[in-house]
Amino acid sequence: MTPEKNNKTIDTILLIIFVAFLLGINIFLFSGKYLHFDTQGVGIVVAAFLTLAMYSFLYKDNPLFKIAEHIFVGIGMGMGVVLTWLQVIKPLLYKPLIRHAIFDNTPGTPDYILIVPMILGIFMFARLYGKTSWLSRWSFAFIVGGGAGIGIPVIINSLILKQLEPSLQPIFVDWVVTWQSINILLILVGTISVLIYFFFSLPHKGTIGGISRIGIWFLMISFGATFGYTVMGRMSLIIQRIQFLLTDWLHIIK
Amino acid sequence: MNIFRRTIPLIIAFCLGIVMIFRYYVPHQSAEDLLTKYGEWVRIIGGFSIVLGLYSLFFTHYTKIKRGMPGWGYSIFVFIGFAVMVFLGLIKEFETFLSIISGKLIDVTSPFGSWEKSLTGTSYDWIYQYIFNACGATMFSILAFYIASAAYRTFRIRSVEATILLLAAVIIMIARVPIGGLISHWIPDLADWIMEVPNLAAKRGVLLGMCLGSISTALRIIFGIERGYLGGGE
């Protein structure tokens, strides 16, 4: 038997054991009245199966993980379509415009101006056909151009000025050095050195090089802090899933 | 034809960009209304664009099934998941679709109600809670293992920068669990200081750089210098 075939056999055996284990446990949970055979009980079993199927990827890419992954993708897309219809197309286009065009007895007056975004939206489909794909540029220009215009004053006011204001606080009050003064000075040094690090019009040598190196240290602290928070966020997700498995599914933790 | 293919999109971007900039400085209700209307229009256009995503996903998986490519069987689950979710999500909309098909408006007076009100406790909600949420949370939690592996590789590089990154990460991680405070009250204090001073300084520097970059890109788009969004071709 080749090693590849041998591995496949081991994987198949593990898969069967895993499914049998799940089946056995769930039969025990339902027969022991730990779980009720209702929407909640079945939901917990399905969620537990999918959770374990997803974690099985840690062993290796396998059919259970792939099934769970593909279901997730399909459901995600379906949810996107449902939400788009219910929250966008129906209230913003169907009710004020299309309904009036289809039915004579619709109350109210149609909002004809909505024909413009509808046409621009339909132009997006032109992307799928090579010869007419240029039509979609009109829609993109509408979104990108307007977005750029909205963004400029908002960025200047809400981000640049609002960020600069606290950076330019007085360091000393009555020439007394406090812990606060040191912090303000450090923030100022950090902000300027990081900005200089990202300033590539001058070679990073000599004084500029030294300042940009300080900027790198500040960036490293920030990246480290972000990394730490990300790890803790993911850890809390693991804890949440394990808690779900041990509490809601297996009832080991009360 | 070039006028339709290139010039008109550039004119649309320019006019809309300029109008939207000046709208910000007009303290009038009509300026606010313009922004609201523009937001709604963008949402409508974006709503249509979901069809492009749908086409791309379906085309990929349909091709896999049609050609019998390796793992084609899994693609069926994409279609099943999608069909089930759409069916359950829009089951209450049958009234609307029935109206469209029959050409006769049925129950015109019924309020459509909020989405939460209409879908909470339904089969759609069940799938969201027990399948979508379970898969999403687990998938993100798997990343913890890969982050740990990536961190190990990063911290193996023995340099001043890697050491600073390691120290900051370790302090933050220890401080955010109860044991950090039990070891010493200095650890949570130090973590707070890291977040409020050096981290804030670096974030502020990055943010300012990002903002200046965004403004220059936005101006380039409005004045037609940046044309990447038009795509390739003529």
| Per-residue pLDDT, B113 | 43
* CA neighbor of B11 nearest in space, from B230, B232, B231: B230
| Per-residue pLDDT, B77 | 96
Q: What is the DSSP letter of A160?
A: I
Report ipTM for this prediction. 0.85
Task: Say whether B168 and A220 touch across the interface (CB within 8 A).
Answer: yes
Going by pLDDT thresholds of 50, 70 and 90, the confidence category of residue A247 is very high
Residue of higher predicted confidence among B120 and A2: A2
Asked if A17 and A11 count as a contact pair (C-beta separation under 8 A), the reply is no
Q: Within 10 Å of residue A132's Cβ, how many Cβ atoms?
A: 12
Q: How far apart are CA B144 and CA A37, in angstroms?
A: 34
Task: Give the residue carrying structure tokens 């492009």.
Answer: B52
φ, ψ for residue A176 (rounded to 5)? -105, 125
> What's the Cα-to-Cα distance from B32 to each of A53, A88, A142, B28, B222, rounded to whole Å?
49, 20, 18, 7, 21
| Per-residue pLDDT, B118 | 57
User: What residue spans define the domains of chain A?
Assistant: 3-93, 111-168, 171-254
Phi-psi region of A61 (alpha: psi -120 to 50; beta: other; left: phi over 0): beta
| Per-residue pLDDT, A135 | 93
| Tokens linked to B59 | 């085309």
Given a cut of 70, is residue A109 above it in pLDDT? yes
Tens-binned pLDDT, residue by residue, of chain B (234 aa): 688 898 999 999 999 999 999 999 998 999 999 999 999 999 999 999 999 999 999 999 999 999 999 989 999 999 999 999 998 888 777 766 766 666 665 554 444 444 445 566 778 889 999 999 999 999 999 988 888 888 788 777 778 998 999 999 999 999 989 999 999 999 999 999 999 999 999 999 999 999 999 999 999 999 999 998 888 666
- Chain segment A23-80, per-residue pLDDT in tens: 999 999 999 989 998 889 999 999 999 999 999 999 888 889 999 999 999 999 999 9
Q: Within 10 Å of residue A142's Cβ, how many Cβ atoms?
A: 22
| Per-residue pLDDT, A169 | 83
> What's the Cα-to-Cα distance from B137 to each of A134, A135, B127, B129, B203, rounded to whole Å?
40, 39, 14, 11, 28
Give me the residue from A67, A84, A218 closest to B50, CB to CB: A84
| Per-residue pLDDT, A208 | 93
| Per-residue pLDDT, B149 | 83
| Per-residue pLDDT, A190 | 95
Segment A140-168 shows an average pLDDT of: 92
Question: Which residues partner with A176 through β-bridges?
Answer: A173
- Chain segment B182-202, per-residue pLDDT in tens: 999 999 999 999 999 999 999
Cα of first residue to Cα of last residue in chain A, in angstroms, is 48
Our CA-based measurement puts residue A21 at a distance from the nearest CA of chain B, in whole angstroms, of: 20
Task: Say whether A231 and B130 touch across the interface (CB within 8 A).
Answer: no
| Per-residue pLDDT, B115 | 46
pTM: 0.85
Given a cut of 90, is residue A202 above it in pLDDT? no
* CA neighbor of B18 nearest in space, from A156, A117, A154, A146: A146
Q: How far apart are CA B118 and CA A40, in angstroms?
A: 19
Task: Say whether A142 and B214 touch across the interface (CB within 8 A).
Answer: no
With beta carbons under 8 A apart, name residues in chain A contacting B85.
74-75, 77-79, 81-82
Residue of higher predicted confidence among A4 and B84: B84
- Chain segment B132-154, per-residue pLDDT in tens: 999 999 999 998 888 888 878 87
- The whole-chain average pLDDT of chain A stands at 91
- Nearest 5 degrees, angle CA A183-CA A189-CA A191? 100
Percent of chain A's residues with pLDDT above 90: 65
User: A-contacting residues of B 37-56, CB under 8 Å?
Assistant: 38, 40-55
Q: How far apart are CA A56 and CA B132, in angstroms?
A: 17
Q: Residue B151 class from Cβ within 10 Å (0-12 exposed, 13-18 middle, 19+ buried)?
A: middle
Q: Within 10 Å of residue A184's Cβ, how many Cβ atoms?
A: 19
Asked if A112 and B140 count as a contact pair (C-beta separation under 8 A), the reply is no
Going by pLDDT thresholds of 50, 70 and 90, the confidence category of residue A176 is confident
- The whole-chain average pLDDT of chain B stands at 87
